[in-house]
Amino acid sequence: MGFTSMLLQITVLRLLLSTFSGNELDIGITLSFWLIYVGLGSYIGKKIKLKHAFTLSFILIALLAQPIVIAIKAIRPVLSLEPGEIVSLTSTILSTAISLFPITFIIGLQFPLAVSYSGGSNAAGRVYGLEALGAFIGGVFFTFVISSRVGAFELCLLLALINILIALYVSKKKIITLILIIPLFFHFGFHKIATVLPWHGLEISETTESRYGEIAVIKVRDQSSVYANGHLIFTYPDSQSEEMSTHLLIAIHPSPLKILVIGGSPGTLKEFLKYPVEKIDFIELDPKIVEVSLKLLGIREDKEAVKDPRVNIIVKDGRRFIKGLNKPMYDLIVLTLPQPSTASINRFYTTDFFNEAKGVLKQDGILVISIPQSTGYIGKRMQTASGSIYNSLKYVFRYVEVTAQEYGDLFASDSVINTDPEILENRFIKRAIKTKHFNQYIFRDAFSPLNVDYVKKRLGGIKLINTDIRPSAYLYNLMLWAEIHGGKILHYLLEIKGWNVILFSGILLVFISFIVFRKKKRVIYFSIFTTGFSGMSFVLAVILAYQSIYGYVYEMIGILSATFMIGLWIGTIITRNAKMPLRILFSLEVMTILLAIISPLFFKAELLFYVLVFISGAIIGGQFSTANLSMDEPEAGGKIYAMDLVGSFMGALIPSLVIIPLFGVTNALLLIAFIKTFSAAMILSLIQIQR
Amino acid sequence: MIKRVQCELCPNECVLENGQHSRCRARMNKDGTLYSLVYGKPCAVHVDPIEKKPFFHFLPGTTAFSIATAGCVLSCKFCQNWQISQAKPEETDNYDLPPDKVVSQAIAYKCRSVTYTYTEPTVFYEYMYDTAVIAKKQGIKNTMHSCGYIKEKPLRKLSRYMDAADIDLKAFTEDFYSKICSGSLKPVLNSLVVLKEEGVWLEITNLVIPTLNDDMKNIKEMCKWILKNLSSDVPIHFSRFFPQYKLTNLPPTPLETLIEARKTAMDVGLKFVYIGNIRQEGESTFCPKCKRLLIERIGYFVKQNNISNGKCRFCSTSIPGVWS
């Protein structure tokens, strides 16, 4: 059960992310609906008295697994979106809510059914633990076996078959074997449609799975465009863009010999090679993207460029690579990544990264970054989003120069940067570079003093800086996204201030404390609710911190979840026969508070992250188990599970939508400690009664 | 007493209750009177080469003093200027620039014309009109870049002061206009005809978007319509789509599509067809008679101009346009 659930969750998450070209916000939304439906299912599951319900649940899951893939892939055509059109927040939430419902509801039902099936003392605790174990295996399995090898549709076929076999085992009725035919038939019948569906209107030349998501290549005439998780990464061949993103930038440096290019189209390499460079290091994180790009290269100069001895294609995370170098060697670093709409991309726009980049730049080296282009006017949201990047650059580098707003480039260096259009024009002419589209007159337009002044004035007013732990650029890109899609709710949410949150949650918590004071059942429910809430927020905060610092959460999400799950399982095992459950529950609450406060210390080393996740899993598992033992009713298991899930739902939604983007990870952790303090106090009040 | 007002400026024909804002966001009903919320309050003010607007047959090599206020009558999913066009004037940071200041600044920056552009000049009609009157008196030309979504009466009135107009003929199907722009094609075609009748110098821009309006059959129909209802002299600019606004994941237009569009237009009989934002021979002007190079353009830069007195320097054919 846990195995299926985990794999389905990861699959569905990846599919939805790709459909909505999404970011961590979508993760929060998906998780919250997943949790609320499972919670609902487990609450209702208690009431089901149907014979063979347990068997039936496995069969239903098996039959729904593949259709859910089709359903998610059909979201875009169903919403009548134009190819390449972004989905609005309301549509995102609605379509996630609708597509997830059937299968997650049944997964929820399974928990109480499993409990009654297994019977015995603390059955709930045992089932919870075993489910966690299954999820752990699923997570590991995904990371090491499935990711980048098996597609979503195939995986669901596998899950369907496994679940039918389980149904067979549980019910011991041979006839169920016949049902195996249905998923197989479905697979062969709908396989083609599944691939084509989300890209309706566009011609697909190739789709493939990478560790980081789905890679697709779309063709319009002779031009191919590479997409990662629904985001357009680059287009090839596109000589206009390739020339624009090289010749304009490289002119800024009087003699660039060693260049580092992070991301972008491999078509830019031949353009850089037109200059007398000594070395070009080209970094791309995803090996599948590199593979796909190299296959696309059709023009002779491009094929030769990648084989040129001066060119080094490195498949690694840009930040890790730079951290590994730690000595100045580059004259020019060109960052050609998309805008920070996800935490993993935001890592390349933070002061932490800029400092690392500065470390590998020579004294007169220049870092080049791009921000979105605007015509005529830079809107308020864009101003804040781009301004926070501009300001972060100024925080680290002595000199920062800009192009006119239609070109969207920023240059940073510790030495003076000359952007006099005449000088740049002459430099370009003297170098006698042959280009098809780029010309010397572009410098006058790109660096026209009036427009440069406009941009500097517009961006200079912003005082925010963007850091790994407090990703402001990511937040403001979220706001920008809200502005584009007129998501009014998001607009208001993003205006919330810190003291609003403290005041509101403080009042709410005090109020709840009054209601539950010294009433055992209510206190336990409250405790589990806060456990679910803080557990989920904690995990999200930690995932975001991990993402921000190390960047490859999608790859490791299997292992991270698995570690959490194994912690959960161990937690339930250790407390299985707890003699004084309430006291243990209290100590676990206190441990949560302490952990929340000291966790930023764990962010220093990668291994410590896993330790952190493991410990939090163990504490939560222990809390669930002891809460269950503290209740005097045997069927409380399902209700507690439901409470846990409702808490987790809110813990997934509110922090990812509001708390973390607005206030950062550290403050989110403090909020968790704050909430848990109330819960611990309530348990203490119960213990005092018992005395 | 009912204080309802109907705006008659554009085909949206908004009927506004007291206190209600128009669809373009730039107008409002206050106690039964229709007010402009953007008069004298531009949010974008820049000096640009006139080739950027794009005008290729109007005072080449000169600069245009370009202004725009917030608001637009349509809501195109690919709008480059969405940050102002889809914004409310209350949200944008605006300058205080009454009509006479617009003209005096244009003169100070040595611009030969004032261009009403970026968003949709129709929404700041009164501001544009008053500025145009003053500009004309002082010898400054008036040009605009519009989607043509304006009603006939105000357009004719404006035409008396407007010297040139670049109209976005976004597609040639009602389907595109309604699905992608939330508007309609017919009023745009009508505006084109009116401008021609009023003697305003006309150039047309068509942004070619993959899968949405890149069907060559429709482009051919569009060119045939232009030939029949306007003239073969009207310059057409085909430009390349880049992912923008709500269509951030649609691939940009392939070069081959633009080249084919240009060929289609020229085969139909249109004389001046340009491919904008890509450097090609499609950026320079050639004499339709003797085929010699008249205006060599590299990007927005005019390198040579072989037109004198409105005629080809080599064969003396009259070249349509406004050259001085």
pLDDT at position A138: 77
User: Around Cβ B149, how many Cβ atoms within 10 Å?
Assistant: 26
Q: Is the pLDDT of residue A341 over 90?
A: no
Taking the C-alpha atoms of residue A90 and residue A87, their distance in angstroms, rounded to an integer, is 8
State whether B83 and A222 contact (CB < 8 Å).
no
- β-bridge partners, B58: B322
Backbone angles phi, psi at A690, to 5 degrees: -60, -25
**Cβ atoms of A116 and A49 closer than 8 Å:** no
Q: Is the pLDDT of residue B141 over 90?
A: yes
Residues in chain B within 8 Å Cβ distance of A441: 298-301
- Tens digit of each residue's pLDDT (9 = 90 or more) over B3-48: 899 999 999 999 999 999 999 999 999 999 999 999 999 999 999 9
Q: What's the length of chain A?
A: 691
Give Cα A30 to chain centroid, integer Å: 11
What is the average per-residue pLDDT within A489-507? 75
Classify residue B308 by burial, with Cβ atoms within 10 Å: 0-12, 13-18, 19+. exposed
pLDDT at position A658: 72
pLDDT at position B1: 66
Q: Where are the beta strands (DSSP E) in chain B?
A: 5-6, 15-16, 27-30, 33-36, 44-49, 63-68, 113-116, 141-146, 164-168, 201-208, 236-240, 273-275, 285-286, 293-298, 301-305, 307-308, 311-312
pLDDT at position A490: 64
Domains and CATH numbers, chain A: 1-203 (1.20.1250), 236-469 (3.40.50.150), 496-691 (1.20.1250.20)
**DSSP designation for B65:** E
Residues in chain A within 8 Å Cβ distance of B79: none
What is the average per-residue pLDDT within A295-307? 90
In Å, how far are B130, B132, B158 from B137, measured between CA atoms? 11, 9, 15
- Tens digit of each residue's pLDDT (9 = 90 or more) over B189-208: 999 999 999 999 999 999 99
Q: Domains of chain B: which residue ranges?
A: 5-283
Report CA torsion sign: B106, B111, B114, B115: negative
- With an 8 Å Cβ cutoff, is A488 touching chain B? no
pLDDT at position A24: 67
Q: Closest to B279 (Cβ–Cβ): which among A436, A444, A445?
A: A436
**Which tops the pLDDT comparison, A373 or B144?**
B144
SS3 content of chain B, % helix, strand, coil (to 5): 30, 25, 45
- Nearest Cα neighbor of B210 from B184, B169, B236, B249 is B249
Residues in chain A within 8 Å Cβ distance of B300: 441, 445
Kindly indicate the confidence band of residue A78, based on its pLDDT and cuts at 50, 70 and 90. Answer: confident
Q: Closest to B118 (Cβ–Cβ): which among A201, A239, A375?
A: A375
Residues in chain B within 8 Å Cβ distance of A460: none
pLDDT at position B115: 97
- Nearest Cα neighbor of A25 from A497, A544, A468 is A544
Picking from B249, B253, B279, B283 by the largest number of A CB atoms within 10 A of its own CB, the best residue to mutate is: B249
pLDDT at position A491: 66
Q: What's the length of chain B?
A: 324
State whether B211 and A202 contact (CB < 8 Å).
yes
pLDDT at position A217: 92
pLDDT at position A486: 58
**Cβ atoms of A136 and A562 closer than 8 Å:** yes
Q: What is the dihedral of CA A69, A561, A3, A67, to 10 degrees?
A: -10
- Tens digit of each residue's pLDDT (9 = 90 or more) over A247-297: 999 999 999 999 999 999 999 999 999 999 999 999 998 889 999 999 999
pLDDT at position A501: 79
Backbone angles phi, psi at B206, to 5 degrees: -130, 115
What is the DSSP secondary-structure string of B268-321? Answer: HT-S-EEETTS-SGGGSEE-TTT--EEEEEETTEEEEE-EETTEETTT--B--S
- Work out the angle between the directed axes of helices A660-690 and A472-484 (0-180°, nearest 10): 110
Kindly indicate the confidence band of residue A487, based on its pLDDT and cuts at 50, 70 and 90. Answer: low
Q: Closest to A82 (Cβ–Cβ): which among B77, B91, B252?
A: B77
In Å, how far are A15, A134, A285, A288, A558 from A145, measured between CA atoms? 18, 16, 20, 16, 11
Taking the C-alpha atoms of residue A621 and residue A118, their distance in angstroms, rounded to an integer, is 19
Q: What is the dihedral of CA A59, A63, A66, A71, to 10 degrees?
A: -130
What is the average per-residue pLDDT within B222-233? 95
Chain A CA closest to residue B212: A82
* Weakest mean pLDDT among A2-16, A538-552, B13-27, B35-49: A538-552
Q: How many CB pairs under 8 A join A and B?
A: 123
State whether B248 and A218 contact (CB < 8 Å).
no
Q: What is the CATH number of domain B5-283?
A: 3.20.20.70
- With an 8 Å Cβ cutoff, is A83 touching chain B? yes
State whether B211 and A220 contact (CB < 8 Å).
yes
pLDDT at position A22: 67
Kindly indicate the confidence band of residue A92, based on its pLDDT and cuts at 50, 70 and 90. Answer: confident
Q: What is the dihedral of CA A141, A143, A146, A151, to 10 degrees?
A: 140
Report CA torsion sign: A236, A239, A245, A250: positive
Q: What ipTM did this prediction achieve?
A: 0.90
pLDDT at position A369: 94
Q: Is the pLDDT of residue A467 over 80?
A: yes
A positions 221-250 inside 8 Å of B (CB): 221-223, 225, 227, 230-232, 235, 238-241
Q: Is the pLDDT of residue A657 over 70?
A: no
Q: Which helix H or strand E contains A136, and what residues bound it?
A: helix A123-141
Chain B CA closest to residue A219: B251
Instruction: For residue A149, give the 3-state DSSP assignment.
Output: coil
H helices of A397-497, in order, are: 421-430, 442-446, 449-460, 472-484, 488-493
Kindly indicate the confidence band of residue A18, based on its pLDDT and cuts at 50, 70 and 90. Answer: confident
Q: Closest to B251 (Cβ–Cβ): which among A218, A382, A484?
A: A218
